[in-house]
Structures are given as C-alpha cells and as structure tokens.
Amino acid sequence: MDNAETVSVEAVDCCSAGAEPAESTLLVVIMNSLADWEIVQTQGWYRLPLRRAPRQVAADYLAFYHTAAFEDMKWSVRHYAPVQKVSVVRRRDLLPAQANHPRAGDWYLRFDLGPLQALERPLLSRRLRRVTFIHTTMQRLLQAEDVAELWLTPPLRERLWTEFNRQGIHAEQEASLGEDGEKRLCDFIIPCYAGGVTVECGEAGATPAGVHDGALTASVGPERTALPGWTRLRFEDAGWPLRLEPYLQAVWEAIERHGGQL
Amino acid sequence: MRLGFAVSVLGRPRLKSHDGRRWPHAPHLSVSLLYLRDIFEYLHDEDIHLYRMSPYLAPYISHPDLPQFQGQIDECAGELELLGRLAADYRIRLSFHATPYIALGAPQPAAAEKSLSDLTNWARLLDRLGAGPEGVIVLHLGGAYGDKAASMERFVACCAALPAEVRRRLAVENDDSTYSVADALAVAGQADLPVVFDYLHFLNFNPEGLALAEALSAVWRTWPAGVRPKLHVSSPRTELRPPARAGAPPALSVPQWTEHADFVNPFEFLTLARALPAGAEADIMLEAKAKDLAVLRLRADMRRYAPELAARLE
C-alpha cells in the first residue's frame, strides 16, 4: 500500500518558521489495526487503553509505527500529528457500534489530532521489529535514520545485548524456544549445561525507577519458570537512563543455577 | 512531614509541567492534564506527596482576547475528576502559587480584576480535582505602591470582596523585601487567611526581629484545625554567577542571598525542622533549583543527619 495515495496529509515541516519548536515531545504509538488507522485518517483521533498506557504517555505529537498488519507500510513510521485534546472515555462511548464488546466498560485515552503530516521519507525499522511505545522528541523523529534511533536512550534490549557481549554472556537474540504448540519468542536465550535462561524485556516506561546512590536504577521483574528446566527472567524497561547491574546480576545468578553457560 | 517541589520535574526527561505550546497551536488543558498524570505517576514512584502545579495548566484561559480557551475547565470536568482521584490515591497534596501578576493590593482596579480571573480559575481547578482545604493558592501581598499600609488595606478589602469559593483557597506568603512575616500575619488576621511561612524570605527580611520559634508559632495559629501548615524552604545561592547574557562584560557577579540554591542545605533545614512547634506536622515545599532532585537529596541527607526526623517523613 502506498500511503501517499491513500492518506490525506499536509506536507508541513514542523520546524519551519512559526511552527512548533523541535524540542516538542512525541510519542510513537503502535498502529496494528487497519480500522484504527482508518479512524486516524478520516476522523482524526487515536485510542489507547488506559490500562496499557505507558507510564509516560503525554506528548505534543503522536507518530505511528505500523506493524506487519500493514503490508507495504509495515515496520515503519511515516506519519505524525499534533495532539490537540485528550479525553478519558469508556470504550462503549468511543465505539458505540461495539457497545456489547467484552471490554466496553474499559477506560481509553482518546487523542484528538490535528492535521496528519507525512515525513519526507519513511522511517524504517531495520533491526528492531517488536517496537513498543517510544517517548521521544520531534527533533529526534526528524533526524533519525532508523526507528531504533528514536530512543533517546538505547532501549533495554539493545543495551543488554551490548553488555552481554562485553561480559561474555553467550546469548542468542530474538530466538524461539519450546515445541511448536508452545513456542515462545524470547528477546534472549542463554543455553546452559542444565536447561538455560530466557530473558524478556518489557515495555518501555512500564516500571518505576528510583534515584538510589546518585544513579537511576530500575527494579528487576519477577522470576518465573517458563519451560521445564529453564528460568525465565523478565525485565522492565524504565525508558530512561538506568543501571544495568541489577539485571546482569540476575542473569549471572540464573546462569549459575543452571550449571553455567554452554 | 511531607517534602515536595514546584512545577518542573528534573528526574525524568521530557516530563513537562503543562502544555506550553503557544496559542496558534491550540494548546489545551486536557494535554496538560495528561502531563500531570505522568507527573503523578512519577511522584508515586518516588514517594513524593506534595506538589505545586503549574499556574499555566489551563493555557490562555484568562486571556481576554482569546475566548476560545475559556471553556477548558468545563470541557475537562471528567478528566479532572479522574486525575483528582489518582492524586488522592497517591496521597498527593496539590497547590498553586500565584504568578507575579496577581496583585490584589494594586491601586489599579484593572489589575485586581485580572487577578480575580486567574484566582478563580485556579480555585476551580482545585475544586474539580477534588482537593480538600489543604489545596491552597499561595500568593504574595505584592508591591507597596508607595504606601504599604494602604496596599495592605486594599489587599484585605479585595479579599473580602472575593467569592467565597476563591477566598477559601487563598494563603498569603511573606516575601524578602516588602512584606515580612509580621506583615503577612497582620493581613492574614484581617482577611482570615492562613500564612505560608517562607524560611529564606524570613531570613532575608525580618525587620521586626521575630524569633524563628515565635514566628512559626504565630504562623501555625493561622491554619484551621485539621489542615496541615505549609512552609517554603530554600537555601541561598552561594556561587558566583557568570555574565547574564552574551556580549556582557566577562565579569562574574556575586550572588544575592535571596536567590535559590540548587539544593537545600541540610543543616539549615534541620535548624528549621527542629524549631517547628512541638508535635506539629508540616508540609514543606522546597524551592530549590534542582526541584525533585533536591527533595530526594534532602531525604537522604535527613536519614544521615537526623534519622529521628527522617522517620517522620511521609
């Protein structure tokens, strides 16, 4: 699908004279529904379930990351729009035609948007595909060459990968584990002599952080066993500078419990 | 005892205090409220329960030439109620501080009229957020306009003429050059308002020579039963200042003791904290340049230097 033919946009450079300053905040949201995209284009609003909203959700602009549901537009950011108003509404009021939906009573954020604007060229995601909310700036959107560059701090997954390599942890990135029926895609798997360790990174901004000893840290998520013989670690990505030591310590301890890495 | 900070958040990037876009870009209270929601989440994460909201939360709402902004509070009634519930769940005491343009004692009626519009909107916001009587709008007495006594009289008269729903939110604060704690107490007594004690202002301007404990006791008595008194605390800046602007002579200037430091000197703070009336609780707004980071630092300092007081922190 060539969006230039189907989307009504205003080709406006947001940083031109009289427009918004480049330090405007911007939230990249996930667009995984053709119906929702239709609403954005024709009615000028976007919805986000309140219970799934990231901890930092307020922004001057929204940009849209298209998932694999969008054929030719998949894995890219192509459009953004200014946020003009935000309402908190029940789903049944947002989508009256679906008043009997099981989640009709859920609260949603409704973002009323200004004119949808097209980037000069699509911003593709060449490495990361499983993108979640990205809180960033308009300046970064206009300067980025890849979706991965939208993070003002590298996402936890990227930072862990770098640190795993640096510390000699032999992890496989974005690997599958388990049998067909229960196949699980993990951010990392670390095979050990007795089973192994899987690591998943949560959504950016999902976990509180605190200032401790002068450095920002984030808590380590609960440890659960996913498959027999394996330890599953899930870390939340606080979305701002944080120390990796608690994460790495948890990984090393799990590796130790499984007899060391292969 | 609760420690808090005003408006800007430094501990989390890109967390704005309000929708600061200029009017042609149609900023909206609802966007400010979403920023405020994010701030409340941050306060909850950091266990901070005292916060001063931006006076510009509802953009351009009092602007006489931009009537399109005037209905925002009503438009956002539902969002304000939900946000107020979040603040209550997180036990966050909210307040406003009037901008320097608020001048109830001004001799020009237009200035007082403009002040009424802003004060009314802040009061309405606090009401819609469901803030109890502890949700105050702090304001200074303003200028002396050549006749301090007359200005104080005008201030009291103007307060008396305010709608009750506005007046009940007001609290007056001493300043560092014109109206001392004694002046604030005198006006507050006549206008039936509580006094917010500003420690740095008190240190800078106390011509009556009130002792600290004496001043605090008098201030305490202005607060209604069941409403915790609120104090402002900051340390004076001590660093040399660089030239104010490009092209200015390359001379450093000495600091003024009325300027706020980045952090709060814990030893000064503890002197004040130990002078508070016995058994009394207070909420203390830190007016430090480092904002929330100053709160976090002072909490750590209290644990180190005064664990008995740190144990009383909420």
What range does the domain containing B273 cover? Answer: 2-241+254-310
Is B248 within the bounds of a domain? no
Q: Which CATH number fits domain A3-150: 2.115.10.20, 2.30.130.30, 3.40.50.11260, 3.60.15.10?
A: 2.30.130.30
Q: Across the interface, do A88 and B21 touch by the CB < 8 Å criterion?
A: no
Q: Across the interface, do A84 and B44 touch by the CB < 8 Å criterion?
A: no
Instruction: Give me the average pLDDT of each 10-residue run along chain A (262 residues).
Output: 33 39 85 93 94 88 92 91 95 88 90 95 79 86 87 76 87 72 73 88 46 33 57 70 77 93 88
Nearest CB to A137 within list B11, B14, B82? B14
Is B84 within the bounds of a domain? yes
Q: Across the interface, do A57 and B33 touch by the CB < 8 Å criterion?
A: no
Q: In Å, how far is B217's CA from the nearest CA of chain A?
A: 35
Q: Which of B50, B68, B69 is nearest to B58 (CA)?
A: B69
Q: Where are the domains of chain A?
A: 3-150, 156-257
- Tens digit of pLDDT for each residue in B106-137? 888 888 888 888 999 999 999 999 999 999 99
With contacts defined as CB-CB under 8 Å, which chain B residues touch A10?
Answer: none
- Element holding B139 (H helix, E strand): strand B137-140
With contacts defined as CB-CB under 8 Å, which chain A residues touch B5?
Answer: none
- Nearest residue of A to residue B47 by CA position? A210
E strands of chain A, at which residues? 25-31, 45-49, 61-66, 76-90, 107-113, 117-124, 134-137, 172-177, 184-191, 196-204, 209-212, 215-218, 220-224, 230-237
- C-beta separation of A70 from A31 below 8 A: yes
Say if residue B162's pLDDT is above 80.
yes
Reduced to 3 states, what is the DSSP secondary structure of residue A224? strand
- C-beta separation of A138 from A20 below 8 A: yes
- C-beta separation of B268 from B275 below 8 A: no
CA–CA distance, B126 with B3 (Å, rounded to integer)? 20
Reduced to 3 states, what is the DSSP secondary structure of residue A18? coil
Is B247 within the bounds of a domain? no
CA–CA distance, A214 with B56 (Å, rounded to integer)? 31
- Tens digit of pLDDT for each residue in B50-104? 999 999 999 999 888 898 999 999 999 999 999 999 999 999 999 999 998 888 8
* Tally of helices (H runs) and strands (E runs) in chain B: 12, 8
Q: In Å, how far is B17's CA from the nearest CA of chain A?
A: 10
With contacts defined as CB-CB under 8 Å, which chain B residues touch A209?
Answer: 45
Give the pLDDT mean for B269-280: 87
- Tens digit of pLDDT for each residue in B16-29? 999 988 898 889 99
How high is the ipTM of this complex?
A: 0.86
Q: Across the interface, do B34 and A86 touch by the CB < 8 Å criterion?
A: yes
Q: What is the structure's pLDDT at B10?
A: 87
- C-beta separation of B203 from B211 below 8 A: no
With contacts defined as CB-CB under 8 Å, which chain B residues touch A109?
Answer: 34
For residue B167, give the CATH number of its domain: 3.20.20.150
Q: What is the structure's pLDDT at A203?
A: 54
- Our count of domains for chain B comes to 1
